[in-house]
Amino acid sequence: MPRNKKVLSETRREVLDAIADGPVSGPDLAARLDVSRAAIWKHVEALREAGFAIESDDAGYRLDGVPAYGGEAIAFGLDAPIEVEYHDSLPSTNARARELAAEGATDVAVVADEQTGGRGRLDRGWVSPPGGIWLSVLCCPDLPPAHAPILTLAAAVAATETAREAGVDARIKWPNDLLVPSGNGSDDGDRKLAGILTEMEGEADRLSWVVVGIGINVDTAGLPAGATGLLARTDEVDRRTFVQRLLERFDALRDDPKAVLGAWREHALTIGQRVRVETPTDGIVGEAIDIEFPGSLVVETDDGRVRVHAGDCEHLRPA
Ligand code: BT5
């Protein structure tokens, strides 16, 4: 975040933390946070505008309710060093995160309620109706560009574990899809719950920035064929908590490739399957047997073992 914005939201978070344990009086709060009483009043008004219920009486300010979703709501109670920028509607959270990257920001999650120009890989589109979970995490890890795929895997693991915690049987399809198995052995197949789009810029030996875009369907209305949403498998979704847990998991995994690979294997649907992987130059058919750092799929083919770094993967029925 630009410096002034960061300071502002940090103070606002401190105000929230203090009044959550309230009541606390305006003068006490001003003294504690080393700002003026007018500044405290402005923060309280801005928080009320953002939907926080803040009571004030003789004893002082007290937090009485948190909005269901939004930037301040996600930031409040988020246990990760990531700023949150929220928009009701954006063309694409990845595009906005790239703008922030160009301004020199880092460790920001851009979240939108709706995307009007959501993007998939290879110039494909991503349908993003209001009420979904559409977000992009901008970070500047000290990694060579070739290692960036580990962050896609980290996001896939984080999203899978958060979906599973919410009661949805999400599994990972290499490299970037979350699927929900049909579960009834029928022909209607696995359905796509979420997708990840990682974009980056870097020098030869070091990434300048990475944007990891994660799209998770909540409602099923308006989605393309073959898609599903969290609400098809569970009665209720608290998007605020979902995004918080997702960001916390991503933050814990982003510096821990070993943990990422272990958890990825555990949640993968692709390992052990017969697959066809279309790469820009080739079509590879065989059994997917493992994942290797930084994200290569190991495929046992008739001509031996092949490591695939990028491509579109199709799960084939057993021969
Ligand atoms: C992906 O691409 O799966 C990556 C999707 C990333 C979306 C996030 S949302 C936040 C951030 N901001 C963005 O603009 N993007 C990221 P790919 O593997 O290429 O899959 C795209 C294909 O999935 C499309 O061609 C459709 O067939 C299908 N599709 C489109 N919208 C979908 C949806 N909501 N759910 C499931 N499948 C969808």
Q: Which of 93, 121, 126 to mutate to test the pocket of ligand 1 (most atoms within 8 A of CB)?
A: 126
The per-residue pLDDT for 188 is: 59
User: 131 C-alpha vs ligand 1 centroid, how far in Å?
Assistant: 16
Residue 177 CA: nearest ligand 1 atom is: 3
For ligand 1, residues with CB inside 6 Å are 92-94, 115, 118-122, 124-128, 134-136, 176-177, 192, 195-197, 213-215, 217, 223-224, 227
User: 118 C-alpha vs ligand 1 centroid, how far in Å?
Assistant: 7
Kindly tell me the sign of the dihedral angle through the C-alpha atoms of 265, 196, 216, 233.
Answer: negative
DSSP 8-state symbol, 29: H
Residue nearest to atom 9 of ligand 1 (CA): 215
CB 238 within 8 A of CB 226: no
Region 20-42: what's the mean pLDDT? 93
* Range scoring the smallest mean pLDDT among 2-11, 19-28, 302-311: 2-11
Q: Parallel, antiparallel, or unpaired: how do β-strands 108-115 and 83-90 relate?
A: parallel
Alpha carbon 136 to its chain's center: 6
Closest CA to 150 of 256, 229, 227: 256
Q: How far apart are CA 53 and CA 70, in angstroms?
A: 14
Model confidence pLDDT, tens digit, residues 109-148: 999 999 999 999 988 999 999 999 999 999 999 999 999 9
pLDDT at 273 over 90: yes
User: 130 C-alpha vs ligand 1 centroid, how far in Å?
Assistant: 15
Model confidence pLDDT, tens digit, residues 154-211: 999 999 999 999 999 999 999 889 999 876 555 457 899 999 999 999 988 999 999 9
The per-residue pLDDT for 4 is: 44
Region 14-28: what's the mean pLDDT? 92
Q: How far apart are CA 208 and CA 288, in angstroms?
A: 32
Closest CA to 134 of 109, 107, 99: 109
Residue type, 181: P
Residue 95 CA: nearest ligand 1 atom is: 14
Region 198-227: what's the mean pLDDT? 95
pLDDT at 7 over 90: no
The per-residue pLDDT for 2 is: 46
- In the numeric block, which tokens belong to residue 132? 């979904």
Domains along the chain? 10-65 (1.10.10.10), 71-267 (3.30.930.10), 274-315 (2.30.30.100)
Model confidence pLDDT, tens digit, residues 34-46: 999 999 999 999 9
The per-residue pLDDT for 1 is: 47
User: 99 C-alpha vs ligand 1 centroid, how far in Å?
Assistant: 20
Q: How confident is the model at residue 22 (pLDDT cuts 50, 70, 90)?
A: confident
The per-residue pLDDT for 304 is: 95
The per-residue pLDDT for 281 is: 87
Model confidence pLDDT, tens digit, residues 58-69: 999 999 999 999
Closest CA to 18 of 67, 58, 54: 54
Q: pLDDT averaged over the chain?
A: 93
Q: How confident is the model at residue 265 (pLDDT cuts 50, 70, 90)?
A: very high
The residue with tokens 């928080």 is 47
